[in-house]
């Protein structure tokens, strides 16, 4: 068997968006991922589902595996002919022991490659609004381990030269030793008024920053009860934080928001919320499945020439419809003789990815909006095909019939509770870990509420409930939930905007 290859990949300091494109490419082809504690595990989703995932994380006082065992694990997996990704927080070669791992691989004749990552030494200060260099304040910076026992004989840190010889000092893993670090800097001439910042969980939604003069920083960190992991920044550049801070000034910074969309749809909402600073918990309440019996849909597709309109009421409906076309060896050309309607921009966008530009999208993205707009389309006597969810309400169908249309409503997909995800959501809600719950459909409401059977709904109502539109809000209210936020525009961006507006009013 041919030997495999090991990629020593830097995952960045915590924000999963900071991994390099090459790092993601390595993950996509990995047979084995051996990963650390200080990284966002959502990165593991980029690897093939069948890839082996091995956690070897280390934290203060708790080592899953000693370094020697990790080194030998890398060698063993590579000798099995596997493509191995050693996924490390920050950069592998900046206080990450990647150099030791590379040495062992070289000694064993294992092919390896280093994929650098963004070190927390520069990324964490940047996310705190602190440039490590600045033309007026700092022309040099140093990165120092804060983990070394400062009291030991033969310390590798030359404090006498370091304290005043470098403008900006960055200590990694130094919270436990902060009193000793401060004492050494003061002893060797660093002014007691030097600004210092300690950044906990840097680049993450829960980031916390404490600043104080060097002489007071130990007391301030103790007062705020900061614990590892944290980065310590010493230097005049810390003064710039109040002017340049951006990460923790985003409108939803620090808010923990539960996203309850279908599993494959959650990313768009999650991304928008994360961009605005929220800590997103993706716990889909439903999964989408095509109905078991596709006979009715197949017959409608074979008779599409008999219809005048086809109206899609969700992106899910578009996806399932085109999956069925593919099974029948058909494509978008079969709709060439029909007018196509979409309930809103997300559905319209899903159609456009299939090469179909909708003939009609209402100004108000609801069933009522569709009906109001079609009053001017002279659809009396025309046949309309509605491929929809199994539990869709009848308002659209009845409204079209009142306009004189001949409507064939076909259930093409069903929403199914995601039991594992809902159980996790229930646990988090009961323990008060969620600030906002988002609901983007009635089925997400029903499935989450059903999970709380026997529990007081007050447990859910401790979180703020945000709904994408009146239909979803109606379902939530009927279930006994208190709806605090409803989107004015019934789209994902509209929902995010409504959440932002709510918290701005709260300030």
Residue 122 pLDDT greater than 60, yes or no: yes
pLDDT band at 208 (very low <50, low <70, confident <90, very high): very high
**Which residue of the set 58, 79, 176, 215 is catalytic?**
58
Q: What is the pLDDT of residue 263?
A: 57
Max CA-CA distance within the chain? 93
Q: What is the pLDDT of residue 41?
A: 79
Residue found by looking up tokens 């530009």 in the block: 357
User: How distant, in Å, are the alpha carbons of 334, 356, 357, 503 from that of 350?
Assistant: 17, 9, 10, 31
Return the percentage of the chain with pLDDT > 70, whole number: 94
Q: What is the pLDDT of residue 320?
A: 95
Q: What is the pLDDT of residue 408?
A: 95
The 3-state DSSP class for residue 210 equals strand
- For the chain, the helix, strand and coil percentages under 3-state DSSP, each to the nearest 5: 40, 20, 40
Partners of 110 in beta bridges: none
Q: Is 58 a catalytic residue?
A: yes
Q: What is the pLDDT of residue 441?
A: 85
Map out the domains of the chain with their CATH numbers: 5-118 (3.40.1010.10), 122-248 (3.30.950.10), 256-285+418-506 (3.40.50.10090), 300-411 (3.40.50.10090)
Q: Flag whether the pTM goes above 0.85.
A: no
Residue 2 pLDDT greater than 80, yes or no: no
pLDDT band at 59 (very low <50, low <70, confident <90, very high): low
Residues 6+ apart with CB under 8 A from 506: none
Q: What is the pLDDT of residue 114?
A: 98
Residue 298 pLDDT greater than 90, yes or no: yes
Interatomic CA distance for residues 159 and 171, integer angstroms: 13
Interatomic CA distance for residues 91 and 297, integer angstroms: 53
Interatomic CA distance for residues 381 and 308, integer angstroms: 10
Q: Which two tokens stand for residue 341?
A: 């309607």
Higher pLDDT pick, 179 / 442: 179
Work out the angle at residue 259's Cα, subtended by the Cα atoms of residues 284 and 283, and round it to the nearest 5 degrees. 35
Q: What is the pLDDT of residue 100?
A: 96
Residue 460 pLDDT greater than 80, yes or no: no
* Average pLDDT rounded to a whole number, residues 284-313: 90
What are the pLDDT digits (tens) for 16-46?
A: 999 999 999 999 999 999 999 878 878 998 9
Cβ–Cβ < 8 Å for 340, 310: yes
Q: What is the pLDDT of residue 295?
A: 94
What are the pLDDT digits (tens) for 150-160?
A: 555 667 899 99
Residues 6+ apart with CB under 8 A from 378: none
Interatomic CA distance for residues 140 and 288, integer angstroms: 55
What are the pLDDT digits (tens) for 160-175?
A: 999 999 999 999 999 9
Q: Is 329 a catalytic residue?
A: no
Higher pLDDT pick, 119 / 421: 119
What are the pLDDT digits (tens) for 328-343?
A: 999 999 999 999 999 9
**Which residue of the set 173, 184, 418, 486 is catalytic?**
173
Nearest CA to 350 among 364, 340, 338? 340
What are the pLDDT digits (tens) for 376-397?
A: 888 999 999 999 988 777 889 9
Residue 61 pLDDT greater than 70, yes or no: no
**Which residue of the set 5, 15, 31, 36 is catalytic?**
36
Q: Is 173 a catalytic residue?
A: yes
Residues 6+ apart with CB under 8 A from 84: 4, 5, 6, 7, 30, 31, 32, 33, 34, 74, 77, 78
Arithmetic mean of pLDDT over the chain = 90
Residue 5 pLDDT greater than 90, yes or no: yes
pLDDT band at 89 (very low <50, low <70, confident <90, very high): very high
* Average pLDDT rounded to a whole number, residues 47-52: 93
What are the pLDDT digits (tens) for 397-454?
A: 999 999 999 999 999 998 776 777 777 777 888 888 899 999 988 888 887 887 777 6
What are the pLDDT digits (tens) for 343-361?
A: 999 899 999 999 999 999 9
B/e letters for 189-224, b = 16+ CB within 10 Å, e = fewer, are ebeeebbbbbbbbbbbbebbbbbbebeebbeebeee
Q: Parallel, antiparallel, or unpaired: how do β-strands 83-88 and 62-63 relate? A: unpaired
The 3-state DSSP class for residue 59 equals strand
Q: What is the pLDDT of residue 349?
A: 93
């Amino acid at each position: 068997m041919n030997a495999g290859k090991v990629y020593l990949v830097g995952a960045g300091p915590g924000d999963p968006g900071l991994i390099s494109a090459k790092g993601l490419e390595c993950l996509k082809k990995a047979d084995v991922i051996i990963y650390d504690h200080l990284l966002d595990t959502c990165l593991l989703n980029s690897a093939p589902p069948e890839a082996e995932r091995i956690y070897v994380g280390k934290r203060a006082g708790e080592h899953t595996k000693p370094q020697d065992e990790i080194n030998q694990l890398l060698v063993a997996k590579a000798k099995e002919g596997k493509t191995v990704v050693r996924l490390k927080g920050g950069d592998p070669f900046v206080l990450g022991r990647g150099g030791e791992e590379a040495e062992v691989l070289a000694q064993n004749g294992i092919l390896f490659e280093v994929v650098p990552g963004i070190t927390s030494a520069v990324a964490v200060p940047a996310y705190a609004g602190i440039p490590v260099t600045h033309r007026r304040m700092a022309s040099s910076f140093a990165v120092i381990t804060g983990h070394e026992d400062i009291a030991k004989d033969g310390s590798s840190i030359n404090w006498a030269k370091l304290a005043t010889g470098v403008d900006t000092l960055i200590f990694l893993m130094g919270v436990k030793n902060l009193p000793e670090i401060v004492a050494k800097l003061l002893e060797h001439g660093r002014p007691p008024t030097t600004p210092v910042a300690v950044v906990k969980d840097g680049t993450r939604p829960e980031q916390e920053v404490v600043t104080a003069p060097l002489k007071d920083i130990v007391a301030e960190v103790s007062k705020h009860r900061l614990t590892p992991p944290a980065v310590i920044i010493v230097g005049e550049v810390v003064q710039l934080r109040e002017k340049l801070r951006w990460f923790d000034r985003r409108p939803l910074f620090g808010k923990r928001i539960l996203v309850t969309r279908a599993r494959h749809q959650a990313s768009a909402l999650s991304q928008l919320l994360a961009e605005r600073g929220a800590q997103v918990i993706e716990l889909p309440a439903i999964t989408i499945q095509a109905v078991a019996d596709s006979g009715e849909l197949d017959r409608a597709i074979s008779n599409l020439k008999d219809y005048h309109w086809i109206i899609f009421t969700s992106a899910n409906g578009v996806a399932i419809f085109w999956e069925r076309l593919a099974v029948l060896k058909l494509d978008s050309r079969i709709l060439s003789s029909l007018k196509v309607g979409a309930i809103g921009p997300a559905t319209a966008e899903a159609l456009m990815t299939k090469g179909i530009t909708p003939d009609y999208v209402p100004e108000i993205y609801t069933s009522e909006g569709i009906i109001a707009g079609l009053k001017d389309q002279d659809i009396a006597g025309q046949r309309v095909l509605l491929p929809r969810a199994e539990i869709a309400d009848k308002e659209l169908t009845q409204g079209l019939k009142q306009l004189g249309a001949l409507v064939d409503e076909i259930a093409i997909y069903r929403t199914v509770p995601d039991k594992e995800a809902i159980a996790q959501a229930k646990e988090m809600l009961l323990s008060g870990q969620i600030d906002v719950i988002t609901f983007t459909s009635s089925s997400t409401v029903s499935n989450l509420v059903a999970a709380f059977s026997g529990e007081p709904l007050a447990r859910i109502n401790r979180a703020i409930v945000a709904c994408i539109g009146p239909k979803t809000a109606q379902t939530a209210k009927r279930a006994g939930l208190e709806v605090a936020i409803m989107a004015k525009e019934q789209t994902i961006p509209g929902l995010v905007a409504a959440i932002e507006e709510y918290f701005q009013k709260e300030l």
